[in-house]
Amino acid sequence: MSQIHTLTMPKWGLSMTEGRVDTWLKEEGQAITKGDEVMDVETDKISSSVEAPFSGILRRQIARQDETLAVGALLGIVVEGEASDAEIDAVIEQFQSTFVPGDAADEDSGPKPQKVELDGRVIRYFERGEGGTPLLLVHGFGGDLNGWLFNHEALAAGRRVIALDLPGHGESSKTLQRGDLDELSGVVLGLLDHLDINAVHLVGHSMGGAVSLNAARLMPQRVRSLTLIGSAGLGAQINGSYLEGFVEAANRNALKPALVQLFSNAELVNRQMLDDMLKYKRLEGVDAALRQLSATLFKDGHQQVDLREVVQAGHVPTLVIWGSDDAIIPVAHSEGLSAQVEVLSGQGHMVQMEAAEQVNRLILGFIEQR
């Protein structure tokens, strides 16, 4: 039995409305396996690869190089089994005649970030999905909830998934009190209280991993599992020159060398990413917050808090994911842990973005056992 599949422009993150085709990675007539990277697409946020959600033969390349297409637009046709050119033409004609690009009304009907006041400060969060034990995503130093734009939707296919902006980040209040892990973890636990969530799977990246570890130390009975991605809190070493460069950078030329260290593919650091990061860094209160966090948590280029015992105690099942080429926090910190450890070859610090499908599959496989 044959199936004619339509490959369409994916939606990565809340604000994506279109993408520009960079290059096809597969040729017409070539076999494709589910999960294969089929084409590279550039958005106003980041460049990434479109992965095939099904297997078959790539029979048609509809989208052309350098063409900008709306989310949901037809990119190509993949066929499982046999199908004539006439049958494929009919599917294409039917798709193109009924496809309507999303507009503002469509955007308005979708889920939006929300804000809540917790202990006198505003915290932004975004949630989607329902059912199961909820999962909370905690970003790293200088990041925000958009750092999970390649993960949130996939993880929310079968459960409620929430991402937040920690204080000093994104659209949350910029004022910090002590700037330590107890303060940041307290915000995470306070948001869970606000959302009436008694038990949660925590997923933390970089500094967010240390925040998640500390939340599990403070309230182990509320944490069903931990997933730590390139996590802080598991050793003393950290790339102090990166932290200093990021904090001090006041223009594109100064910021780019810092951000490039985050990725295995330097081309992902595009002009829009730099502009967005500079816009954030210039917000009132951000500079002070980043300096306070860096001085408190990573003084003199060394991590100040060791939370390995939270993992070693074995009270909270833990998955550790690391890029083998992480230039910010060494992969060696993953060694000797009483946890499921997955090292992804050739990946850097932002492994949840650059190897999103692998990371999503690992997280889902891990939490579904708990």
The pLDDT assigned to 27 comes to 95
Supply the pLDDT for residue 17.
Answer: 84
Tens digits of residue pLDDT in 138-173? 999 999 999 998 999 899 988 999 999 999 999 999
Does 104 fall in a domain? Answer: no
Q: Are residues 4 and 149 in the same domain?
A: no
> Which structural domain, as residue segments, surrounds residue 117?
112-366
Assess whether 163 and 294 both reside in one domain.
yes
Question: Among 334, 123, 306, which Cα is nearest to 217's?
Answer: 306
Sequence-ordered strand ranges (E) for the chain: 3-8, 18-24, 31-32, 37-42, 47-51, 56-61, 68-70, 74-80, 114-118, 121-128, 135-138, 161-164, 200-205, 223-229, 318-323, 340-344
Amino acid at 145: L
CA-CA-CA-CA torsion sign (46, 149, 232, 367)? negative
What residues in the chain have per-residue pLDDT under 50?
Answer: 104-109
Same domain, 125 and 55: no
Average pLDDT, the chain: 92
If we measure between CA atoms, which residue out of 130, 3, 99 comes closest to residue 54?
3
**Same domain, residue pair 233 and 295:** yes
User: Which among 36, 4, 38, 40 has a CA at the least distance from the CA of 20?
Assistant: 40
Cβ atoms 167, 187 nearer than 8 A: yes
pLDDT of 51 reads 85
Amino acid 42: pLDDT:
86
Based on the fold, state whether residues 14 and 118 are members of the same structural domain.
no
The answer to whether the CB of 174 falls within 8 A of the CB of 291 is no
- Does residue 141 sit in the same domain as residue 244? yes
pLDDT at residue 104, rounded to an integer: 43
CA distances from 84 to 4, 55, 78 (A): 10, 18, 12
Global confidence as pTM: 0.80
Task: Choose one of 96, 124, 150: the last residue of a domain.
Answer: 96
Three-state DSSP state, 344: strand
Q: What is the CATH number of the domain that holds 119?
A: 3.40.50.1820
Q: What is the reported pLDDT for 134?
A: 97
Q: Judge whether 102 lies within some domain.
A: no
